[in-house]
């Protein structure tokens, strides 16, 4: 028998795109957990899978924290779970396809444990057409919630379990800043800290401003408090997160700048401080100067280019030209010598010409990126670019993609080669996934290193002599002192 569906709120893309002038609400809320839910969770397990960017990873950690506070225990096999959470990403079609595959395979869990609860959340559920599709095609999904109401998980679970209903609760709104939620960080050396939620840039291809709401900064005191706690707990690395970190503070009364925040966090004494992502639009020299002044701010910057053609950049709504981007890179390298620069590039934006694409290659050859994420444009329902009639074939897009990857690989390899023979500090993550006798970690410039060394040093920063370079990682051996 199909369960009754209760709809508390449905997503609406028009509402999601509204940017009201109302001030952002800061909420400090204690979780409301019913006694019957606590009793129910006792001895029960949960499984969570998170797709997408670091913002989603951090949301996943918050969800873990909430479920643990209710009383559930985390397991790493969904078939052993009583509650399964799929925290989704909507950035490209292939991200969504993976989720449909996973929901399909969870049918087996429902056969094994008919009373298990399957919940879907994250960016995919913020889209009306996806919620309709899930409702109609996947009866095994019991709860659909969004990015704005993670703090309601206890109520949603209570309702789904004790009333035996399906529940949809997805808000499309600018969103609040919700403080004091629990967060379960498995890694004891590296932590993400949100400094800002949402995005107001509305690049014409991108779904994020619709799924994550208005750009809203956390208060500096709250960020510093969280970072201080992490330093006291012995964390070695903090990455400050936001879709456009350099626009931090513009929405706050205090009009604090990102450069000031960065300095204040650096002064807390965390050994490694990183931030991502930076939009080329809101950069200031003060930010670069902070990077040059504080040695614990890592010399690595992720600076998405997207395209090297001014026409495509204009149609993407990126608000900079290729020349402005290159000038920014020059200034950055002047103020922070040796800085590693990485990027994101989209190939095949609607009606991108061969000339447009060549201009992207020109910028790639000019900048000499340390590494890059490359994507084939994927139309997102509700975004302006998805309405453009595209004359470029998929075959052409794939050819361009391959050429771009080859062009980038030349620089990636030569940056890597420059490390051979050097001794560099590496924060040790753990044993390599492929070979259990090899350690892996990252340099200050975010280069992956696989090396022989002492496993007791996992979670610490050690010196590694680089012996070999490949396009994907460096090889080395730990050295003393
Ligand atoms: N806020 C960050 C990145 C967000 S999404 C920024 O602006 O840089 C990460 C990357 O996904 C983007 O930089 C872009 O390169 C890519 N992306 C976003 N929407 C896409 C789409 N519709 N198709 C293909 N790639 C996309
Ligand atoms: Fe998307 Fe652009 Fe916002 Fe980045 S800045 S999240 S690409 S809209
Ligand atoms: Fe994906 Fe949402 Fe992040 S669409 S990339 S999980 S903000």
| Whether pLDDT at 2 is above 80 | no
Q: What is the mean pLDDT of residues 230-247?
A: 97
Ligand with an atom nearest the CA of residue 319: 2
- The CA 306 to ligand 1 mean position distance, Å, reads 8
Q: Encode pLDDT of 390-400 as tens digits.
A: 999 999 999 99
| Whether pLDDT at 333 is above 60 | yes
Between 251 and 306, the more confident residue is 306
Q: Is the CB of 266 under 6 A from ligand 2?
A: no
Q: Is the CB of 90 under 6 A from ligand 3?
A: yes
pLDDT band with cut points at 50, 70 and 90 for residue 254: confident
Q: Is the CB of 206 under 6 A from ligand 1?
A: yes
Q: Encode pLDDT of 9-36 as tens digits.
A: 999 999 999 998 888 899 997 899 999 9
Q: Encode pLDDT of 197-217 as tens digits.
A: 999 999 999 999 999 999 999
For atom 19 of ligand 1, the residue with the nearest CA is 206
Q: What is the mean pLDDT of residues 285-289?
A: 93
| Whether pLDDT at 422 is above 90 | yes
| Whether pLDDT at 310 is above 70 | yes
Q: Is the CB of 259 under 6 A from ligand 1?
A: no
CA distance 96 to 89: 7
Between 70 and 435, the more confident residue is 70
Q: What is the mean pLDDT of residues 257-268?
A: 97
Residue 30 has a pLDDT of 86
Ligand with an atom nearest the CA of residue 277: 1
Residue 218 has a pLDDT of 97
CA distance 69 to 62: 11
Ligand with an atom nearest the CA of residue 212: 3
For atom 13 of ligand 1, the residue with the nearest CA is 344
Residue among 122, 196, 209, 304 to mutate when testing ligand 1 (max atoms within 8 A of CB): 304
Mean of pLDDT over the chain: 96
- The CA 151 to ligand 3 mean position distance, Å, reads 19
Residue 273 has a pLDDT of 98
Q: What is the mean pLDDT of residues 371-390?
A: 97
Q: What is the mean pLDDT of residues 212-237?
A: 97
CA distance 300 to 100: 35
Q: What is the mean pLDDT of residues 304-326?
A: 98
Q: What is the mean pLDDT of residues 416-437?
A: 94
Ligand with an atom nearest the CA of residue 276: 1
pLDDT band with cut points at 50, 70 and 90 for residue 255: confident
| Whether pLDDT at 1 is above 60 | no
Q: What is the mean pLDDT of residues 444-451?
A: 97
Residue 246 has a pLDDT of 93
Q: Is the CB of 211 under 6 A from ligand 3?
A: yes
Q: What is the mean pLDDT of residues 342-346?
A: 98
Q: Encode pLDDT of 151-209 as tens digits.
A: 999 999 999 999 999 999 999 998 999 999 999 999 999 999 999 999 999 999 999 99
Q: What is the mean pLDDT of residues 70-95?
A: 97
| Whether pLDDT at 447 is above 60 | yes
Q: What is the mean pLDDT of residues 419-443?
A: 94
What global pTM score does this model have? 0.96
| Whether pLDDT at 481 is above 80 | no
CA distance 96 to 206: 14
Residue among 346, 378, 386 to mutate when testing ligand 1 (max atoms within 8 A of CB): 346
| Whether pLDDT at 260 is above 80 | yes
């Amino acid at each position: 028998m199909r369960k009754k569906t209760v709809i508390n709120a449905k997503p609406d893309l028009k509402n999601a795109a509204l940017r009201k002038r109302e001030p952002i609400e800061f909420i400090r809320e204690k979780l409301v957990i019913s006694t019957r839910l606590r009793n129910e969770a006792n001895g029960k397990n949960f499984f969570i899978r998170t797709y997408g960017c670091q913002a989603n990873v951090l949301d996943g950690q918050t969800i873990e924290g909430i479920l643990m506070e209710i009383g559930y225990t985390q397991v790493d096999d969904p078939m052993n779970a009583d509650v399964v959470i799929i925290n989704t990403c909507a950035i490209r079609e292939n991200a969504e396809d993976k989720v449909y595959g996973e929901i399909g395979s969870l049918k087996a869990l429902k056969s094994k444990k008919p009373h298990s609860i399957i919940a879907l959340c994250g960016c995919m559920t913020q889209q009306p057409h996806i919620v309709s599709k899930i409702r109609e095609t996947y009866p095994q999904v019991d709860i659909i919630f969004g990015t704005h109401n993670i703090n309601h998980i206890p109520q949603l679970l209570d309702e789904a379990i004790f009333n035996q209903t399906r529940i949809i609760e997805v808000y499309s709104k600018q969103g609040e800043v919700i403080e004091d939620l629990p967060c379960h960080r498995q890694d004891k050396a590296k932590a993400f800290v949100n400094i800002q939620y949402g995005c107001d840039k509305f690049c014409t291809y991108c779904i994020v401003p619709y799924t994550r709401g208005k750009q809203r900064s956390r208060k500096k005191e709250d960020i510093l408090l969280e970072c201080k706690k992490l330093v006291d707990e012995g964390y070695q690395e903090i990455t400050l997160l936001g879709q456009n970190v350099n626009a931090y503070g513009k929405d706050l009364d205090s009009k604090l700048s990102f450069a000031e925040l960065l300095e204040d966090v650096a002064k807390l004494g965390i050994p490694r401080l990183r931030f991502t992502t930076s939009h080329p639009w809101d950069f200031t020299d003060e930010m670069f100067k902070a990077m040059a002044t504080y040695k614990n701010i890592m010399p690595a910057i992720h600076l998405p280019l997207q395209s090297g053609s001014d026409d495509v950049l204009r149609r993407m709504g990126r608000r900079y030209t290729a020349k402005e981007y290159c000038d920014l890179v020059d200034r950055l390298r002047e103020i922070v010598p040796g800085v590693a620069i990485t990027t994101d590039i989209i190939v095949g934006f609607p009606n991108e010409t061969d000339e447009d694409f060549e201009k992207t290659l020109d910028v790639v050859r000019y900048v000499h990126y340390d590494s890059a994420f490359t994507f084939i444009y994927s139309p997102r329902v509700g975004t302006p670019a998805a309405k453009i009639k595209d004359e470029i074939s998929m075959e052409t897009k794939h050819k361009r993609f391959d050429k771009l990857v080859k062009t980038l690989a030349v620089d990636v390899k030569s940056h890597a080669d420059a490390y051979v023979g050097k001794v560099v500090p590496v924060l040790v993550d753990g044993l390599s996934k492929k070979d259990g006798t090899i350690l892996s970690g990252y340099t200050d410039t975010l280069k992956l290193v696989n090396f022989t060394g002492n496993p007791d040093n996992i979670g610490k920063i050690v010196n590694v002599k680089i012996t070999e370079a490949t396009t994907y990682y460096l090889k080395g051996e730990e050295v003393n002192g």
